[in-house]
Amino acid sequence: MKAKLSTGLTLMLLVSLLLFSFQASAQDGTVSVMGVWGGGELDAFNKMIEPFEAATGIEVQYEGTRDLPTLLTTRLEAGNPPDIVAVSGPGMMKDLAQDGDLVNLENVFNMSYLREDFDQKWLDLATYEDGMYALFIAGDAKSLVWYNPKVFEENGYEIPETWEEMDQLAQQMQEDGISPWSIGLESGAASGWPGTDWIEDIMLRTASPEVYDQWIAHDIPWTDERVKNAFEIFGKYAKDPNMVYGGPTSVLSSNFGDAPNPLFTSPPRAGLHRQASFITSFIKESNPELEAGADFDFFPLPSIDEEYGTPALGAADMLSMMNDNEDARKFMKYMATPGAQSIWLSELGKLGTHNRINPNIYPDETTRQMADFLNNAETFRFDASDSMPAAIGSGAFWQGLLDYVSGQDLDSVLENIEERADDAYSSGNATN
């Protein structure tokens, strides 16, 4: 009896504590923020909110989770959403906005200022139907081709402006005994992902951003001609021993982090490497003596079809507001300032999306140029594989890519992914 009583008391105490803490989060003087950040990102976030807390006296309560959608759904169902949520991308933002869970930021910000501060494409990406539901605080660029400027200079290579020029450059490299491309798809249990970025970049350049969006939403099937075409273009490089260093065996067995290394051997073994901005840290780790700009540099992956220009593929950090209260408004307004965003950017080496970011906060000229490319690109799209259901975007798509490069017939590869997509998607015109 006694044991039961004490258990009961403990339970009651726990429940009341929980209730109290929930109430606390809704109290005045606090802003609750939910996101996926941990480790270095969390440190950067804490640094970013420090001045805000000091100036306003508002306490920011951050709740980090790796499983954001699940936790957010639970909190919404309980009628207790966080004030601010760091959404994973426009897809998640639209889903929440559609259900009426987000605050229209047009009523929060002075839009004429915001239009001056942000390129129209960032505002467009944050817009759903008649409202704006997210604020961009940083971006990453993926459509980058890395090269060794010294090798380019010695051999008289020019930076290609179009895809044909890039192929001509590849021809030239072959004649000089350099493999044009270096590709590495190995990444442990995540093997294959570096190839998905290739397919996405090619889709954006051959099929249009609209078709790209339909592809993510499974409005077009994987067996669609345009998807097949993107795989085939990738295959022309990844599967041809004359085009890629070491041929497909090397492509499949090289780790993505080691893949840029053949560019920096003497003599160079490969000439070009397509990878996101973060690869610079891998380059520096394997070759500490190399300097950004002088020893390695990038150019934007050129346009294939003139009509679609040179789109930028990447990722971005976005904040959405779920509760409209004075403190949350203050927080969002603070996050829209170049000062707050600069802390985030310089701590994490990300690229700014705000027009008033001081270029001097970037560690080097190369990063400044990446930020320029990101902001000047007429089209920006989020990494498709990150926006697809995990079973596809971090499953069947990776697997299919490896199967294709290792020699499996493309039609059967795409049919396999399509079959998986039918299971994984609950919407989309192509879902059976």
Q: Please identify, using beta-carbon distances, which residue of 241 and 359 lies nearer to another protein.
A: 241
410 counts as binding another protein under rule CB under 8 A: no
253 counts as binding another protein under rule CB under 8 A: yes
Q: Please identify, using beta-carbon distances, which residue of 192 and 221 lies nearer to another protein.
A: 192
Tell me, residue by residue from 256 to 275, as one string, x for binding to another protein by CB under 8 A and - for no binding: ------x--x---x------
Q: Please identify, using beta-carbon distances, which residue of 383 and 403 lies nearer to another protein.
A: 403
Q: Which span sits near another protein by CB under 8 A: 74-82, 150-158, 245-253, 362-370? A: 245-253
Residue type, 254: S
Q: How many alpha carbons fall within 13 Å on the CB side of residue 13?
A: 6
Q: Please identify, using beta-carbon distances, which residue of 162 and 249 lies nearer to another protein.
A: 249
Q: Please identify, using beta-carbon distances, which residue of 32 and 254 lies nearer to another protein.
A: 254
Is the backbone of residue 404 left (phi > 0), alpha (psi -120 to 50) or beta?
A: alpha
Tell me, residue by residue from 361 to 390, as one string, x for binding to another protein by CB under 8 A and - for no binding: -----------------------------x
The single residue among 51, 402, 410, 431 that binds another protein, judged by CB under 8 A, is 402
- Backbone φ and ψ of 273, nearest 5°: -145, 120
Select from 97, 166, 155, 157 the least CA-distant residue to 126: 97
Select from 394, 378, 403, 370 the least CA-distant residue to 145: 370
The single residue among 252, 279, 322, 335 that binds another protein, judged by CB under 8 A, is 252
Residues binding another protein: number (CB under 8 A): 28
- Backbone φ and ψ of 327, nearest 5°: -65, -45
- Backbone φ and ψ of 30, nearest 5°: -130, 150
The single residue among 56, 223, 325, 394 that binds another protein, judged by CB under 8 A, is 394
- Sole residue written with tokens 């003596």: 289
The single residue among 396, 414, 417, 430 that binds another protein, judged by CB under 8 A, is 396
Select from 179, 227, 279 the least CA-distant residue to 384: 227
Q: Please identify, using beta-carbon distances, which residue of 68 and 328 lies nearer to another protein.
A: 68
423 counts as binding another protein under rule CB under 8 A: yes
Instruction: Judge whether 151 and 265 are in contact, CB under 8 Å.
Output: no
State how far the Cα of 422 lies from the Cα of 419, in Å rounded to an integer: 5
Q: Please identify, using beta-carbon distances, which residue of 196 and 320 lies nearer to another protein.
A: 196
- Sole residue written with tokens 């998986």: 420
Give the helix ranges, DSSP H, for 296-407. 326-335, 338-348, 365-376, 384-387, 390-391, 397-405
Partners of residue 182 on adjacent β-strands: none
70 counts as binding another protein under rule CB under 8 A: no
CB of 191 vs another protein, minimal distance in Å = 6
Residues near another protein (CB under 8 A): 188-189, 191-192, 245-247, 249-250, 252-253, 262, 265, 269, 390-391, 394-396, 399, 402-403, 406, 412, 416, 420, 423-424
